[in-house]
Amino acid sequence: MYPVMARANDQRSPHIVMTQSSCAPTWTAPPTGRQTFVVENRSTRSGAIYLFNPFTGITVDKHSALAPRSSVTLHVDLKPGHYTWGCHLDGEGARQSVDVTVRNPPVMTAAGPTTSIPVQPSQLVGPVIAYEAYVTEELNVLAGEVTGLQSAIASESLAQAEAAWLTAHLTWQRLGAAYDAFGTLGTNIDGLAPGQAVGQAPGAPGGSSFEGFHRIELDLWGEQDLGAAAADAAQLAANVAVLVEQFTIDAIPPAELPLRTHEILEDSLRTELSGDDDYGSGTDMASVEADVSGTEVLLHLLAPLLKARAPELVSRAMVQLNRLDVALAATMQDGRWVAVSQVPLSEREQVDGAIGAALEILAVIPDIMPVVGSTL
């Protein structure tokens, strides 16, 4: 890329000015695409000026020897991202302009006007730490509630055991464990029976490899076998204890956060609103309500980054999530949750409409904030 000399009073292109005391003081964000900048040295010394990404340090363009009282025209192809001018006059310290964010033209979506801007992993450090703290706290709560489930089963009260199961299971759902988020351990804790495909109604599972919440659900509601439930709850407690210990070691990849904001409810639609994981408790609607809570946690953590890309997204998403909460609560009968298959069509349509609208908004999040260097 070769600089072209230009007159200092050329007003056809934005001026980038460096002086003895400032560097591009009037620099504002241009749109993406090919841009032309008239760079002017108003100082009494020669100097270098360069445009770079402040997060990666990569220089986009530069002119190394701009004479005093002269200017040069630079032609730059700008992609979405962060940009800063750096100025270094001979014999002087380096100065920088403000960091600006270059965006694609807004695109109208269900989330309102949106713009795709890459996210540096460093920008997600804070949200990841906060989310890991949330998950850690909830896992510790879960461990205590599973112990409570064991005690309820030992009391030989089926009603108490069922209530304790639901309390612990909803805590698990609020963790947002969609699409194998916790790997094999997560499957052992809340997986479907072996051989049951997604979209296939639960049958009578065979074999000893079926374990976790849904195995205990079958013990309690389907077979009313407190002895089997006690053994299966002991295995659940062991798996949760391993997960609690393992999670303190395994960090969450930054790119997972934008994905989880919509994957949680996608999983709700796929398994819970289909009734695929109902082994007798009829509490899938309650699970979806817990999934909504987990989604809201992520939206709150990512709100500052989302606002720069889609100013209306979080508020629009919250409207639909609140609408979904109301629709879910309306499916209860006499204060109790009922199986998806027992929900009247009109009420089910309200749930389906609300979750569909929420997912339409949430689905744009990974696209508008792609994480640099991510392979997910």
**pTM of this prediction exceeds 0.85:** no
Number of helices (H) and strands (E) in the chain: give both, helices first: 10, 11
User: What's the pLDDT tens digit per position in 122-178?
Assistant: 999 999 999 999 999 999 999 999 999 999 999 999 999 999 999 999 999 999 876
**How confident is the prediction along the chain (376 residues), in pLDDT tens digits per residue?**
333 333 333 334 688 999 999 999 999 989 888 999 999 999 999 999 999 998 888 899 999 999 999 999 999 999 888 899 999 999 988 999 999 988 877 788 888 888 888 898 899 999 999 999 999 999 999 999 999 999 999 999 999 999 999 999 999 999 987 666 788 899 999 998 886 554 445 655 555 579 999 999 999 999 999 999 999 999 999 999 999 999 876 678 888 899 999 999 999 999 999 998 999 999 999 999 999 999 999 999 999 999 999 999 999 999 999 999 999 999 999 999 999 999 999 999 999 999 999 999 999 999 999 998 765 5
CATH code 1.20.1420.20 region(s) in the chain: 121-368
Give the separation between CA 126 and CA 113, rounded to whole angstroms.
26
DSSP codes, 194-211: TTPPTTS------SS---
CATH code 2.60.40.420 region(s) in the chain: 4-102
What's the CA angle centered on 250, arms 249 and 253, to 5 degrees? Answer: 145
- How distant, in Å, are the alpha carbons of 75, 241, 324, 346 from that of 349? 55, 39, 11, 5
User: What's the pLDDT tens digit per position in 178-189?
Assistant: 666 788 899 999
The torsion of the CA quartet 74, 76, 81, 85, rounded to 10 degrees, works out to -10
Instruction: Give strand pairing partners of 4.
Output: 73
Q: Give the residue from 204, 258, 257, 214 showing the smallest Cα distance to 235.
A: 214
Task: Reply yes or no on domain 121-368 having CATH 2.60.120.620.
Answer: no
Q: Which CATH class is domain 4-102?
A: mainly beta
Q: Could you give the count of Cα atoms lying within 13 Å of 10 in the half-sphere of its Cβ?
A: 21
Would you give the distance in Å from CA 69 to the centre of its chain? 50
Q: Are 20 and 92 in contact (CB under 8 A)?
A: yes
Indicate the helix (H) or strand (E) that contains 325. helix 313-329
